[in-house]
Chains A and B, each alone.
Chain A
Amino acid sequence: MRSLFEGVPARAAWGLVCVIVLLYLAPLVFGGYVLSVLILCCYLAVLGQAWNVMMGFAGQLSLGHALYIGLGAYASGALFFHFGLGPWIGLIPAFIVAGAMGALIGWLGFRFGIRGVYFALLTIAFAEFVRILFDHWGWVGGSSGMFLPVQNRNIDMDAASIANAFWTLRGPNWVFYYVILTGMVACLVIVRLLMRTRVGYYWLAIREDQEAAQAMGINVLRYKLLAVVISAMMTAFGGVFYAFYNNTLYPESIFSIDRSIELLLGVIIGGIGTLFGPILGAFALTWLGEGLSITQEWFDIDGLKLLTYGVAMLAIILFRPAGLWPWLRRLLGMEERRPDA
């Protein structure tokens, strides 16, 4: 607990606790549409937090994170589809597959000294390559998709049924909401704790100057790999959730480069390399997106939503390159005290 809140001003800590409690109470007030948007917000925040570990903290740009969403989703989805294994058991192979893939890409990339542009392209190439393989893999449905069986959207309100709904991830929307919200908070805590350990400081050192970090005796390869693997596993959790929440998996859409871009947009807008940036960005972007989708349908203009995303992204990079969160944090007077101050 101490290292979780160390250096955080009291008002910021209380503010955070209040926001989280309010989020946990949200299903009592909202249902239906609002709740489904909140689920999307938390889902995107989990993915953003994962991407941020790799890019924001360890400084390795990945443009192929859809790969890990897809692997997580397909690993757990296929086990459920073929053997009836539930999501929490499926999470283990999802972690293993995504982590191994991340380790492979990271190892190949870092071992062969591929950096910057080239590394980003390597991540895209792998994502596209795997997408095409899944398109042709009959066991998981190929390009015609895989559909998870859906049942009991409505459950009895006794303890056993509720526990069962959480265990099997088959139930009403609020079950999914609590799972992904808890996932989001867990990711936040994990990353916060990681950033207080030696590993976190190593990542920052590598991000700022890889040669200097190496000269200081940091095993750069090992810690960059660790960042990729952790990031891939967190993304795979998002993928497992996606599989059971959406119930339909198409390689075409789940591995698509659009998904990789979408998940980093929120982080850019919220603030790259900050803990709350991905969360703020995900909430801002999702609500903006919903509003734009409705406008788009009203006026029947295709592309309005994504066009605005593009404009928002340019505006942020031009005028607030650090993102919204650092600016908002200063405004609220919630800046963290530096350990040496």
Chain B
Amino acid sequence: MLPIEFYFDAAIKGLLTGSVYAMLAVGLSIIFGVMRVVNFAHGEMLVAGMFGAYLVFVTLGLDPILAIPIVALVMFLFGVVLQRGLIDRFITAPEHQQFLVLIGVALILTNGLDMIFGPDARNVQVPYAFASFEVGPFFLDNVRVYSAITALALIALLYLFFNHTLTGKAIRACADNNRGAQVVGLNVSRLYAITFGIGAACAGAAGCLLIMVIDVTPHLGADFTLLAFTIVIIGGLGSMTGALLGGLLIGVSEAMAGILIQPSLKSSFSFGLLILVLLLRPNGLLGKRSS
């Protein structure tokens, strides 16, 4: 039997990592909630963000947290171009065609990164990589604390954007009633492009935060796409609060599974949870019931 502090320690670590997961998942959730398009390339966009932060670190020596504006802007533009050039044509196409388009994008992203950077793992060592705060009996790594705070702050910003700006409200209008939005004269296609850009920027920002904790290789994408899906389904596709909750839940449950059962079994835990939620509450813990 492990001392009780051990569990608390794991839970806190899980919460901190979970905030970054939530950042990633919020992007996926926004894209689905507004456009009803499932971004099968979301994890790959995260990996692109990780490589972006790595590049900024190597060339400019900038801390990944400070690299967020640069990386997020690039990813935003990438998202806008992708939506405008490709995905916009498939908005009304059958669901499986949308999937396949995004799976194609995912293949191109992963292997494009592989061609540029090669298959080796890369990482970023910030000066405070091994420092930690001591809070009572717990030691919290600076890296995790800073990235969790940044992630939560960015999610809060997004929340303000969607609730208190005109563009944000217009995007929500598209999500609520697409035709109604068109009738009142909103440029739905432009708003979709912005939405997809924001989703991609979320993935990019999450990449900046994640590169401080784990090494990046081009082929990580699929795992993170699945992780993001798990979180978003558990929280409810299309709900921002749900994504936040799901992210924290998965973060904690992975950390707990890591100490209670074998670490290599920990993702079976999230998949098991995903299957259960799909069966029992297919719209997620906080999702709206579909009619």
Q: Which residues of A contact B (CB under 8 A)?
A: 55, 61, 63, 108, 112-114, 116-118, 120-122, 124-126, 128-129, 132-133, 135-136, 143, 257-258, 261, 264, 268, 301-307, 309-311, 313-314, 317-318, 321
- In the bound complex, how far is the Cα of B103 from the Cα of A257, in angstroms? 11
Is the Cβ of A307 less than 8 Å from the Cβ of B100?
Answer: no
Contact residues, B77-121 vs A (CB, 8 A)? 86, 89, 95-97, 99-101, 103-108, 110-115, 118-119
Answer whether A118 and B108 are a contact pair too, CB < 8 Å, given A302-B118, A303-B115: no
Q: Which listed segment binds A: B11-19, B241-249, B271-279? A: B271-279
In the complex, the number of residue pairs spanning A and B with C-beta atoms less than 8 Å apart equals: 113
Instruction: From B86, B107, B118, give the contact of A310 (CB < 8 A).
Output: B107
- Kindly name the residue among B110, B111, B114, B262 whose own CB sees the greatest number of chain A CB atoms within 10 A: B111
Instruction: From B104, B229, B264, give the contact of A317 (CB < 8 A).
Output: B104
Given the complex, which residues of B lie within 8 Å of A114, measured CB to CB?
Answer: 278-279, 282
Total interface residues in chain B, CB < 8 Å: 42
Given the complex, which residues of A lie within 8 Å of B218, measured CB to CB?
Answer: 303
From A264, which residue of chain B is reached at the shortest CB distance? B100
Q: Which residues of B contact A (CB under 8 A)?
A: 38, 86, 89, 95-97, 99-101, 103-108, 110-115, 118-119, 218, 222, 226, 229-230, 233, 237, 262, 264-265, 267-268, 271-272, 274-275, 278-279, 282
From B233, which residue of chain A is reached at the shortest CB distance? A121
Could you list 17 examples of A-B contacts with CB < 8 Å?
A117-B237, A125-B271, A125-B278, A128-B268, A129-B268, A132-B264, A132-B271, A143-B264, A264-B100, A303-B112, A303-B218, A306-B111, A307-B115, A309-B107, A311-B108, A317-B97, A321-B97
Taking the closest CB of chain A, its distance from the CB of B18, in whole angstroms, is: 19
Is the Cβ of A261 less than 8 Å from the Cβ of B103?
Answer: yes
Given the complex, which residues of A lie within 8 Å of B110, measured CB to CB?
Answer: 303, 306
Instruction: From B99, B101, B108, B226, give the contact of A128 (CB < 8 A).
Output: B226
- In the bound complex, how far is the Cα of B229 from the Cα of A261, in angstroms? 17
